Amino acid sequence: MRNESPEMRNGFIILLIAFAGSVSLTGCTDNSISSNPFYKLHFSQDTIAFDTVFCTIGSATSKVVIYNRNPKPLSISSISLTNGASSGFQMIVDGTIATNNQLSNIEIRAHDSLYVFVSVTVNPTLQDSPLLIQDSIVCITNGNRQSVKLTAYGQDVVIFRSKTIHNDTILAAKKPYLIYDYLAIDNGKTLTINPGATLYFHKNASLKIYGNLKAAGEPKARITLRGDRLDKLSDDVPYSYLSGQWNGLQILGTQSSASLNYVTMISGKSGIAIPNGTPTQMPDVTINNTRIQNFDSCGLVASNANLSLLNSEISNCKSGCLRLTGGNYTFTHNTIANFYNDNYAGKRRDGTPSVTLLNGESGRQNQAPAPLRVQFINCVITGSAQNEILISDTTRNTPLKYTFDHCYLMSKSFQSSSLKSVQWGNTKDQLFIRTTISSKGYCDFRPTENAPIRKKADLQVSQQSSFCFDMNGTDRLWNGTPDLGAYQWQGE
């Protein structure tokens, strides 16, 4: 045998190692599709449940992820919906639209996944109550049948698109209403909303009152005004937690009248706006037992109005809860609380105090501004800032007149003859059950047992028939000591 140089020997060893590595890699990568019946698919969830879907409108899209956690590729011989195209569900598999909701021979590599996107459009059900719709995604792989359940509730709805009502009209509560752009009531006409009715507003839609409004809710049949997104951001977060979904209610007639009783308004851009520039003619507005909550701008902004707010809550508004400019206002047994923090949309308060009082701005046609007359009785005004009240007198001839009588005020203390039995707040005070959004739900502005707003209300006012029960129907006098705000502590 001839002698080999060290270089030749080293080169041979390197080739040998490279060959062995190549064989090893080839052995670890087996691209052949397995027919092993023990290899099954896994799913990110076993049920896709849609919230109520308006008939003919269509839902948001949900997804399920299909995983192949096996060491070899699989061929899914069939992915289909049990009811084909008849149930209203539609399916897209890994970017491919499933014709008649069925696809065949879909390969999924080892330790890989694919996405199935599902939406639903419901045909009119011709009934008032929601109708349950069910189907299933069925996957057949190597003889194995696996499925994901699909459920949705279809709801018939009355649709208004840029609708102006020219006659006295009643909206019953049998079916909900869906408003696009606006629903308006003409000058001199009255819109009556019956107890239990729900009005859903599409993005940027609003309710415009040039005439009169009578929203006649009842304790067990509240009227709801809200956005039309009924899906969820996540399992624990409904879309209604996001502010800015619709444009709110606007009272636009200088001689309009509006009454709201047991109404819930949530998650719009501005709650109730009364932009009256004519101080010699003022709309008359009465709001009872109403919740105005989670708005992008102001909860209630009014210029030159005669307004009473009773037994109500205005809360969590990005640009303050209450802004008044000229007019006559009475606030009794209300909770005005601003802990706005829309984490889901990345929004924060803009620094505006919860309550802003301005003594008139110039009216139209060189008219003198209306003076502001406002009184707060048995109210709570608080929030996440140290100073939640701004009072600015912009006129000289007629000074602003205000009264805080038996109130809790989150503000720097000041001296005034307009203050009677005022309690100055502290950001460390534990007033309410919950001022943040948590797994338990949205904020809850009922008082805690040891809250400093307990037993501080003016008894003579609370005994009056309009105030002896709080917004939830709790007797304010059940223990003889009524609380400040819209809610009475009711014990464990």
pLDDT at 231: 85
Collapse the DSSP code of 16 into the 3-class scheme (helix H, G, I; strand E, B; otherwise coil) and give the result: helix
Give the residue from 187, 294, 198 showing the smallest Cα distance to 240: 294
Collapse the DSSP code of 362 into the 3-class scheme (helix H, G, I; strand E, B; otherwise coil) and give the result: coil
pLDDT at 237: 86
Q: Picking from 4-8, 59-63, 328-332, 371-375, which range would have the lowest pLDDT averaged per residue? A: 4-8
pLDDT at 364: 47
Is 264:240 a contact under the CB 8 Å cutoff?
Answer: no
Residues found in the chain: 492
112-124, pLDDT tens digit by residue?
999 999 999 988 8
Sign of CA dihedral 53, 56, 57, 58: positive
Asked if residue 426 belongs to a domain, the reply is yes
- What mean pLDDT is predicted for residues 438-444? 89
Asked if residue 33 belongs to a domain, the reply is no
pLDDT at 362: 45
Give the residue from 443, 127, 477, 167 showing the smallest Cα distance to 313: 443
Is 468:476 a contact under the CB 8 Å cutoff?
Answer: yes
The answer to whether residue 131 scores a pLDDT higher than 50 is yes
Distance between CA 239 and CA 245 in Å, rounded? 9
193 and 282 housed in the same domain: yes
Q: Running DSSP on this structure, what letter comes out for residue 241? A: G
Q: Picking from 31-45, 117-131, 450-464, which range would have the lowest pLDDT averaged per residue? A: 117-131
Is 276:361 a contact under the CB 8 Å cutoff?
Answer: no
The answer to whether residue 15 scores a pLDDT higher than 50 is no
The answer to whether residue 2 scores a pLDDT higher than 90 is no
50 and 64 housed in the same domain: yes
Asked if residue 467 belongs to a domain, the reply is no
220-276, pLDDT tens digit by residue?
999 999 999 988 887 788 888 999 999 999 999 999 999 999 999 999 999 999 999
130 and 265 housed in the same domain: no
The answer to whether residue 13 scores a pLDDT higher than 50 is no
pLDDT at 299: 98
Q: Picking from 47-51, 369-373, 382-386, 465-469, which range would have the lowest pLDDT averaged per residue? A: 369-373
How many independent structural domains does the chain possess? 2
Distance between CA 347 and CA 466 in Å, rounded? 37
Q: Picking from 47-56, 233-242, 404-413, which range would have the lowest pLDDT averaged per residue? A: 233-242
Q: Picking from 29-33, 143-147, 163-167, 233-237, which range would have the lowest pLDDT averaged per residue? A: 29-33
Sign of CA dihedral 482, 485, 488, 489: negative
73 and 182 housed in the same domain: no
The answer to whether residue 28 scores a pLDDT higher than 70 is no
Is 358:325 a contact under the CB 8 Å cutoff?
Answer: yes
- What mean pLDDT is predicted for residues 289-305? 96
State the DSSP string of 302-331.
Answer: EEEEEEEEES-EEEEETT-SEEEEEEEEEE
282 and 429 housed in the same domain: yes
157-206, pLDDT tens digit by residue?
999 999 999 999 999 999 999 999 999 999 999 999 999 999 999 999 99
Distance between CA 43 and CA 45 in Å, rounded? 5
225 and 137 housed in the same domain: no
Q: Picking from 16-30, 291-305, 350-364, which range would have the lowest pLDDT averaged per residue? A: 16-30
65 and 187 housed in the same domain: no
Q: Which residue has the higher pLDDT, 358 or 170?
A: 170
Residue 392 binned pLDDT confidence (cut-offs 50, 70, 90): confident
204 and 77 housed in the same domain: no
Sheet with 144-155: list strands edge to edge.
47-54, 144-155, 131-141, 74-81, 102-108
Asked if residue 31 belongs to a domain, the reply is no
410 and 302 housed in the same domain: yes
Asked if residue 18 belongs to a domain, the reply is no
174 and 305 housed in the same domain: yes
137 and 278 housed in the same domain: no
Mean pLDDT score across all residues of the chain: 90
Structural domain harbouring 120: 42-154
Residue 125 binned pLDDT confidence (cut-offs 50, 70, 90): confident
The answer to whether residue 128 scores a pLDDT higher than 90 is no
